[in-house]
Structures are given as structure tokens and as C-alpha cells.
Chains A and B, each alone.
Chain A
Amino acid sequence: MWRAKIFVTLREGVLDPQGQAVRSGLMSQGFKAVSDVRIGKYMEVTVEATSIDEVSAMVRAMCERLLANPVMEDYHFILEEVQ
């Protein structure tokens, strides 16, 4: 069994109004050093596979087809073998 930890983020250059709102919240809390906040999604997907190559190809296909929208989002993931 494998666990994929998947991060989906807005593509560079795509405006992130949520991130901007959170940034101004942080600024008002005194975190003046914050220059940017980008908000994304985190997903954990547990899959059965025999090799890391197999699970990697599978998760990539999941991201391309459904989990991320390539028009506005990028994705990356980390794979862990689990019991």
C-alpha cells in the first residue's frame, strides 16, 4: 500500500484572492515580514500498487484527469509506503 500526499496549488501568475486576504490578516497580526501567501489544497490518496513506478504513474494520471485543473493549477506529490 502506498500513500500519496498531493499538493495542488494555483499556477504562478494566477491571482490568489484568498492568499491575499490571509496575507493582510497576517500583516495586521504583526507579521510584517510576510511578503506573499498562496493557498492550495492538500490531499491524501491511499492506493494499492506493486511498485513505486506504478503508483507514481497512477497518481500523476489522477492529478491530470481530476485532482488538478491544468488551466489554473499545478500539482506535485510525495509517495510513502504504508502498512
Chain B
Amino acid sequence: MKFGIVVFPGSNCDVDCYHAAKEVLGQPTEYVWHQEQDLSRFDCLVIPGGFSYGDYLRCGAIARFSPAMEAIARESERGKLVLGICNGFQILLESGLLPGAMLRNNHLQFRCEERHLRLENNRTPFTNLGEVGQVLRIPIAHAEGNYFIDENGLAELKRHNQIAFRYCDEQGRITPESNPNGSIENIAGITNRRGNILGMMPHPERAAEAILGCTDGKLVWVSILKWWGDIHA
């Protein structure tokens, strides 16, 4: 399975994502500069965290117009997997590949800490090895992770089972206290309707090896590989 890690000016989690795909999963992985127009050689495209274009105007607002994002839109239509993490999630929202938008955290602070997530949907390529209700411990690091969508949009997300992760406490309870940024309904990650695009604020690449203190994020990476293995079996 071939992974492409998209690099924008200002990306800073690209090396971590490369490491997760290349070393943790052991799969062929390449960096992809944002000017690239043809990404058809990849099976999974990862849009990493960071501050693409310095977060100017709005997080992800400029990055969405890059040639690589046009290519990603094309590849996602062909069913390729797209994983957007943190700034990658913001870019997917700005580009309209996922619904909603990101507001400043409700307390205005940058939060860099481990968080508990409740897995809400295990019927996606990114979560198929998990159980619904399973609690994962994965770090967040952002100032604009306050997910916003209007009432109709939220109803649509629920109707099509697009909520992948929600912030919860250690026991898996969805509480206001376990919400680190004010996100509507504690949403931490969503998919598109088809399920082949996932955007999430927490960083699974930062929790994919024991040496990092936690391996819960590995579930996302290994699920991707499992999904690909199953459809190519």
C-alpha cells in the first residue's frame, strides 16, 4: 500500500506521519510537495498537521487552492483514502471535502495534551479494527479545533454515521469537561459520507509507538492497512 504525505510550506507533522507510514506500518511512503498535480500513484494521502501558509486568513484557507489539493479531490472521488490530521482536517474543511468549519478554541488557548476519544464508528477504513465505544488516548495540539456545523449539517452527519471520534473522559463518557475546545457535541473527527476521507484534530501519528508513551493511535494506521489488504485480498 503506497502512502503519500503532502507537504505545504508550514507543515510540521509531515515527518511524524512519514515515520508512522514508513516505519510503523512498513509501507512504501513518499513526501509530496504541494505543487504536485498527479497523485494517482498513491493509495492513501495524508495531509499532516502544522501551520500551512502560516494559518493566514483562516487555518487551511490558502492551502486548499494548491495543486495537490485538487489532485486529492480527484483521487478521493476515485475511492482513494485521504487522512487529514489537525491542520490537515482544517484544510479538508476549507476545501469542502468535509462539511463544517473550525473556530478558535472556546477558551482561546492553544492546547497540547493527551485526550481521550470515543470511537463512534468502526465501519470506516480508518477505524475498522476498533470497537464502537472503545476509548483511545491520543494527543491534541491546536488553537483552532472548535468544530462548528449548523443544525442541519449536524443532523446530516449523524444520519450518515459520519462522526468517527468524540472527546470523552477516561470511562468513555461524553461530558462538557472532556471537551478541550468547545467542539459541537464533542466532535473530534468526521468522515465524508462515502467514508474514504477522515479528518481528525488529535494526532494518531504521535501515539503510534511505545517509545512515544502510547500506542492507541496505531489503531488508525493499522486499520488503513487492514482495509486495503481486505479489498486487495
Q: Give the interface of A toward B (CB within 8 A).
A: 10, 14-15, 17-18, 21, 66-67, 69, 71-72
Contact = CB atoms under 8 A, between A and B. Distances in A.
27 contacts: A10-B103, A14-B103, A14-B148, A15-B103, A15-B182, A17-B104, A17-B106, A17-B107, A17-B108, A17-B146, A17-B182, A18-B104, A18-B108, A66-B57, A66-B61, A66-B62, A66-B65, A67-B57, A69-B61, A69-B101, A71-B99, A71-B100, A71-B101, A71-B148, A72-B101, A72-B103, A72-B148
Most chain B CB inside 10 Å of its own CB: which residue of A21, A67, A71: A71
* SS class, residues of chain B in contact with chain A: loop
B100 to A, nearest CB: 6
A15 B105 CA distance: 10
Interface of B: 57-58, 61-62, 65, 93-94, 99-101, 103-108, 146, 148-150, 182
A17 B105 contact: yes
Contacts of A69: 58, 61, 94, 101
Contacts of B101: 69, 71-72
Given A15-B106, A17-B104, A18-B108, A71 B149 contact: yes
Given A18-B104, A69-B94, 9 more contacts: A10-B103, A14-B103, A17-B104, A17-B107, A17-B182, A67-B57, A69-B101, A71-B148, A71-B149
B149 to A, nearest CB: 7
A4 B108 CA distance: 30
7 nearest A-B residue pairs (beta carbon):
A71-B101, A72-B101, A17-B106, A17-B108, A69-B101, A72-B148, A17-B104
A71 B31 CA distance: 31
